[in-house]
Structure 1
Amino acid sequence: MPAGGPDSRVPISAMTRRQLAAGVAGAGALRAARRKPNVILILADDLGFGDLGCYGSKTNRTPHLDRLAADGLRFTNHYSPSPVCSPARAGLLTGLAPDHTGVTGVLREEHDAAGGLSLQSPTMADHFRRRGYRTALIGKWHLGMSEPFRPMRRGFDSFWGFLNGVIDYNTHVSTGGGWRGRRTTFEGAEPAVWAGYFPDLLAGQAVRFIESNRAEPYFLYVAHPLPHLPLQAPEKWIEPFRGMQPDRAVYAAMVACLDAAVGAIREALERRGQWDRTILLFASDNGWAKQVTPAFAPLGSNGPLRGGKYELYEGGIRAPCLLRWPGVTRPGDVTASPSWLCDWVPTLAGHATADGIDLRDVAAGGSRGRNRALFWRFEDKLVKTPLSYAVRQGKWKLLIVGGQRRLFDLEADESESADVAAANPDIAARLERRLRAWVERLP
């Protein structure tokens, strides 16, 4: 019989079979461990620090976000680099403070022709794409209306949503922040027209993206427009809150709709077997707009924090943030380490930036950055916000509004009710020196 024929085969024992099976299983586990995780980033719009059950709300119903907090890490000192949406989104996508992105305030109609996120600033989507990820944006853009600034030119392989800042959720016509009175809805690079309540359509689109993308990895940025005004929700979302004051019921319905979208995304991931291979981050671009819209001030909540959108008080810049990172975060963990939206480019996309740090140590239970300094500068003449500066380091925060200096001890006084500069002159002076040095380095 020639060598290698049937009679030359070596019998395989049961033990050998088990060893081979274990080797195959081990190789599969190793491949799974090496597989790049999917990354889903969900950004709410104007969601206040106290608007979720896991952050103390007694009126809003947010079971899916509360469950996400229980499954992962909840941040109690997570900040936006700006108290308004456009610069906050610029900071999130570039890892840079607003003054380095070309977007320092809300993009409005006067910016339609040329304003937008600096073309010299690569985005998180650019970094993910270079790492072999498919990239998608579903929802609100608000970083430039003209063609060179649009999502498909800024690292995203696909886009479904609207370009401007605010739309009517039923007609999808712009009510501000670009192309007022016109539709700004796009699918890919082409204008698109849809019918229905936009937040519901968005949730369905996110689920379809997950279900149609089994070839991993992907980066999905869901820029959800709620609970930003206008105050609109279908009857099905309002009905559970009928006992409330009417406007408050609509706001609670909008928060519930946002929460349900997070739940739908999770369910889609679980159905497709992707839940334990996906990093899920939920955050808000800034605090609730109670200072800008006095009639609607009681609707949203910044919890115990003072101020709101358009201000550098805590209520304008500190917002909810939840992270579930399989194999890294621990269920029910909470961190008080200061962080902000600029940190997510280095943390998730692995690209170092001037204004962000890698939070993987914090995600795993560490305390990196606990004593870091965070800086802000902001002004908006339309809503009469004077030139304002702030720096936070450790428990101390120095705030300068219209030239008036205040110092707060955030550990003892989270609501910023007591100016303690007179009692701590050395600390106030040190922080002001740091702030001035930072301002001098700005473009």
Structure 2
Amino acid sequence: MKKLIYVTGLLALLGWGCNSQPNNTVYTNAGSTPPNVVLIMADDMGYNDLGCYGNATIKTPNIDRLAALGMRLTDYHTNGVVCSPTRAALLTGLYPQEAGVEGVVTAKSHRASGMSPSKFTLAEYLKESGHTTALFGKWHLGYQPEFGPNVQGFDQFKGFVSGNVDYFSHIDQEGFEDWWNNNQIQNEAGYLTDLISKNAIEFLEKKEDDKPFFLYLAHGAPHYPYQGPNDTADRTVGGSFPIQGSREDKKKAYKEMIESLDKNVGKVIDYLDKNKLTDNTLVIFCSDNGGTRNVGSNAPLSGHKGQVYEGGHRVPAIFYWKDKIQPGVSEELVLSMDLFPTIASLLDLEVPKDLSGKDLSVIFDQTKADKNIEERTVFWRFKNQGAARKGNWKLLKIDGEAKLYNLSTDIKETADVKEEFPDVFQELNRAYEEWEFGLKEETILT
């Protein structure tokens, strides 16, 4: 049974169904059909892995075009520094710890575990608002159907439930088949990145014309195994294989994988354009954590995936909605958990109460441009690491040692200034301790 805190929102949704047009909406000229949402998530993509974020080597014209036509965020952060926690936060609007998923839901150790179905998700919320919901790609919040996408609000699911699969054989890193059609294993031939966009377009072709949709495209790229579209399978069922793939030049494979991802993003956007869906569709692109140490680029940040330094959680993010979101660059602090309430608000739905994420639609909605964003303190925790951020101040705690950084002058987090600013240090340290103490933790997957 879902939490009572959502009753207000659901009543609002029921009321919406009685009107041909919602009130005070940013899409009043888009027609009577409520807006659609396309959420595209890359896997392990670093802050500097796209052309629009400064990469001069990897060619990403389609995503760069989204950034040019939409709002590019330069201070967007994942709630986790590895895959599962961010996905939990994005879907629930909560901190990963509150969602019960602080660490990776691994193929080896957590095959009977997952995020509790009692957690209310963005997919459930939009489904109850009248949207058809579909996930194509990576789930990574539970291996068994009782923890799967179909019990968390998705009408359709085609993809994999583990952290990574072979891009061709779709076998996970423990040697199990991992390509699902809803609740059944049902392999499908094709390169992983191509399959996700293929299934997305087939979904769009079959959708009901008068019904809005929420399409979540959770790509595997550029997570290992490092396999470009012209490579072949490495993994076999129960076999022995190199976890990261057999390609010797992994950086070149990584480049091919991102460029394939970009091509497939372009396919989906082109379909929306050609079928006159762009005007009524909010498109969001983001990554689930920072790039890896050896192949990803997080420049100019320090750190990488698995760390609470900026490089572990500051990632690319783009919001695009033709003629609704004005092109530009936002320097506002945004986290994965903010997407749930922000999407709800942009679609003119009642924002659920008691979410840890905040409605930041003011950044994207010109009708709310006169509203101020209240400064807040946000937190990260992973294993022996913790961090707190308020404004440009960031507290970093690793193995019990705490440091303070001023990100406005030290984005690389190299100069500890806690001695110069003891009051700021004590404030953030106290806030972090209070946040930890106040967490109502369930079974935390670490």
Please give the range of the TM-score, normalised by the shorter of the 2 chains. 0.7 to 0.9
The AA in structure 2 aligned to 1:362 is I
- Counterparts of 2:380 and 2:250 in 1: how far apart (Å)? 33
For residues 440 and 285 of structure 1, do their structure 2 counterparts lie closer, same or farther at Cα, with a shift above 3 Å needed?
same
Q: Given the alignment of the two structures, is residue 274 of structure 1 paired with residue 277 of structure 2, yes or no? A: yes
Residue 376 of structure 1 is matched in structure 2 by 380
Residue 66 of structure 1 is matched in structure 2 by 64
CA contact (8 A) 1:95 1:353 kept: no
Residue 265 of structure 2 is matched in structure 1 by 262
Higher relative contact order (CA 8 A, sep 6+): 2
Q: CA deviation at 1:212?
A: 2.1
- Counterparts of 1:316 and 1:170 in 2: how far apart (Å)? 28
- Counterparts of 1:272 and 1:157 in 2: how far apart (Å)? 22
CA contact (8 A) 1:346 1:352 kept: no
CA contact (8 A) 1:362 1:368 kept: no
Residue 16 of structure 2 is matched in structure 1 by none
Counterpart mapping for 1:285-300 below 5 A: 285-290=288-293, 297=294, 299-300=295-296
The partner residue of 2:201 within 202, 207, 211 is 207
CA contact (8 A) 2:137 2:158 kept: yes
Q: Given the alignment of the two structures, is residue 193 of structure 1 paired with residue 187 of structure 2, yes or no? A: yes
Task: Report the TM-score when normalising by structure 2.
Answer: 0.84
Query: SS of the counterpart of 2:396?
Result: strand
Query: SS of the counterpart of 1:433?
Result: helix
Residue 425 of structure 1 is matched in structure 2 by 422
Q: CA deviation at 1:351?
A: 2.9
CA contact (8 A) 1:286 1:316 kept: yes
CA contact (8 A) 1:338 1:369 kept: no
Residue 362 of structure 2 is matched in structure 1 by 361
Q: CA deviation at 1:232?
A: 0.3
CA contact (8 A) 1:286 1:309 kept: yes
5+ residue gaps, structure 1 = 1-28, 238-244, 291-296, 380-386
Residue 55 of structure 2 is matched in structure 1 by 57
- Counterparts of 2:396 and 2:322 in 1: how far apart (Å)? 38
Q: CA deviation at 1:35?
A: 2.6
The AA in structure 2 aligned to 1:235 is N
Q: CA deviation at 1:335?
A: 0.7
The AA in structure 2 aligned to 1:418 is A
The AA in structure 1 aligned to 2:101 is V
Q: CA deviation at 1:363?
A: 1.2
| Higher percent of residues as helix | 1
Greater mean deviation of Cα atoms: 208-217 or 277-286: 208-217
Residue 403 of structure 2 is matched in structure 1 by 406
Q: Given the alignment of the two structures, is residue 44 of structure 1 paired with residue 54 of structure 2, yes or no? A: no
Q: CA deviation at 1:374?
A: 1.0
- Counterparts of 1:167 and 1:261 in 2: how far apart (Å)? 18
Q: CA deviation at 1:32?
A: 3.8
- Counterparts of 2:186 and 2:255 in 1: how far apart (Å)? 29
- Counterparts of 1:432 and 1:228 in 2: how far apart (Å)? 34
CA contact (8 A) 1:398 1:428 kept: yes
Residue 252 of structure 2 is matched in structure 1 by 249
4+ aligned runs moved over 6 Å, structure 1: none
Residue 7 of structure 1 is matched in structure 2 by none
Residue 351 of structure 1 is matched in structure 2 by 352
For residues 71 and 392 of structure 1, do their structure 2 counterparts lie closer, same or farther at Cα, with a shift above 3 Å needed?
same
Residue 14 of structure 1 is matched in structure 2 by none
- Counterparts of 1:201 and 1:283 in 2: how far apart (Å)? 19
The partner residue of 2:433 within 412, 415, 436 is 436
Residue 9 of structure 2 is matched in structure 1 by none
CA contact (8 A) 1:370 1:394 kept: no
Deviations 1:364-420 (A, max 9, x none): 3657546221111111xxxxxxx1111001010001110111111101011111111
The AA in structure 2 aligned to 1:424 is F
CA contact (8 A) 1:138 1:222 kept: yes
For residues 206 and 219 of structure 1, do their structure 2 counterparts lie closer, same or farther at Cα, with a shift above 3 Å needed?
same
The partner residue of 2:392 within 372, 395, 405 is 395
The AA in structure 2 aligned to 1:339 is V
- Counterparts of 1:121 and 1:287 in 2: how far apart (Å)? 26
Deviations 1:74-95 (A, max 9, x none): 1111011110000110000000
Q: CA deviation at 1:317?
A: 0.8
CA contact (8 A) 1:112 1:146 kept: no
Residue 340 of structure 1 is matched in structure 2 by 335
Larger Rg, first or second structure (1 or 2):
1
RMSD, aligned α-carbons? 1.8
Q: Given the alignment of the two structures, is residue 104 of structure 1 paired with residue 102 of structure 2, yes or no? A: yes
The AA in structure 2 aligned to 1:254 is M
For residues 369 and 84 of structure 1, do their structure 2 counterparts lie closer, same or farther at Cα, with a shift above 3 Å needed?
farther
The AA in structure 2 aligned to 1:311 is Q
CA contact (8 A) 2:178 2:185 kept: yes
Query: SS of the counterpart of 2:394?
Result: strand
The partner residue of 2:225 within 205, 227, 230 is 230
- Counterparts of 2:406 and 2:217 in 1: how far apart (Å)? 35
For residues 113 and 51 of structure 1, do their structure 2 counterparts lie closer, same or farther at Cα, with a shift above 3 Å needed?
closer
Query: SS of the counterpart of 1:250?
Result: helix
Q: CA deviation at 1:359?
A: 1.5
Greater mean deviation of Cα atoms: 320-329 or 261-270: 320-329
- Counterparts of 2:112 and 2:227 in 1: how far apart (Å)? 31
The AA in structure 2 aligned to 1:340 is L
For residues 55 and 370 of structure 1, do their structure 2 counterparts lie closer, same or farther at Cα, with a shift above 3 Å needed?
farther
Task: Report the TM-score when normalising by structure 1.
Answer: 0.84
